[in-house]
Structure formats: C-alpha cells, structure tokens
Chain A
Amino acid sequence: GAVVSQHPSWVICKSGTSVKIECRSLDFQATTMFWYRQFPKQSLMLMATSNEGSKATYEQGVEKDKFLINHASLTLSTLTVTSAHPEDSSFYICSARPRDSGTEAFFGQGTRLTVV
C-alpha cells in the first residue's frame, strides 16, 4: 500500500524557535498534501491544503505566516512552525493523496511537537 513518511515523529523545541516537519510520499506521487493538527482528545482539524507547485490554501483561523507550507515536489511537503509557542504544542499529521486517486489520502505517522 501507499506509504507516507513524516519526520520527525516527535520534537521538543524552545519557545521562539522554528520547527520544520517533513511529509514524504514514498511510493507514489502526491499532487495534494494536507496538514492537520490534533489537540488531545480532539479530532483532526485541517490546517491547510498544499498543492505541488502552488501556494497552500489555509483554513480559516490558521496563520499562514506562522505555519509555512512548501510543496516543492510531488513527493515532499514541509510544514514550518515559526516562532513556536507553548500553545502550538500539538500532534501534527500530514496526508498525501495519490495522483488520479479516487480514494482518500494516506496519513503520515504524525509529529508530536512540544514547545517549552
């Protein structure tokens, strides 16, 4: 089956620093990648949709200057949390949709971000 690799799986950073999370589709080309955030005991909330070669589309309430998304190739999208604060601590999950796929995208394993 399709594999999506997300790295790192967990990260601890100091408040004010930036953190980059990578999402790679290992065995397929993904024209669209999605970034979600999940707080404890809550469902996934879509943050942004990333299309290869174009600017990401952010959901309402998500600061595009704080959560920088780059989808430079058909197999890689990155999310950079800039000037992280403790309230940004969360579980960040990417998913990638195979090109020409009628099914849903496949999820990465998630990144647990803790800002101290």
Chain B
Amino acid sequence: GIQVEQSPPDLILQEGANSTLRCNFSDSVNNLQWFHQNPWGQLINLFYIPSGTKQNGRLSATTVATERYSLLYISSSQTTDSGVYFCAVDSFTGGGNKLTFGTGTQLKVEL
C-alpha cells in the first residue's frame, strides 16, 4: 500500500515563529488532507489539497503531486497551534475511500 512519511516528527517553537511541515507519499494520490489533532483528540480539517496551493489565515499548504510531497506552512505560531499535525492520502489504487495517515508531527508552541 501507499506509504506516507512526515517530518519532522517533533517540533518546538517559540510563539510567533514560522514553521514548515513536510509530507512525502509513495504513489499517486486522488486525495490529500492535512489535519490538526488538538490536545482533546479531535481531528480538525485544515486543508483538502491533492494538488496546488491553498491558504487559510496563518496556515497555507502546497502539494506538488508530480513530485509526491506536500508542505504545510504555519506562520506566526500561537500556543493554540500545539498538537499533532497529520497528513493523510487516498491513492487511486486503494479501495474503500481509505485515508492512509502519516505518523504525524508533534508541535509544541511555547510562550
């Protein structure tokens, strides 16, 4: 099946700093989503981005499908950005509308 790798695994930032999270995937995809799992365990949809670039406030994402990677940018980070960020993909060859998740980036934003 498709493999999803995220980096870095852990990240500590001072409030106000910027960061870039990376997601590499091993096959062509028809769906790529970024999620934030908050400290209460909820999965929050950030972006649906199988290709191209999107922005939402301080967050933006870019997927280069031909090179099989996606980037999530967090600017002017805040303590509420803390949590785990997951990239998840669904490939053309997979069935059942199944998202394969990466192992996540654990982000901690400190004052």
Whether both chains belong to one complex is answered with no
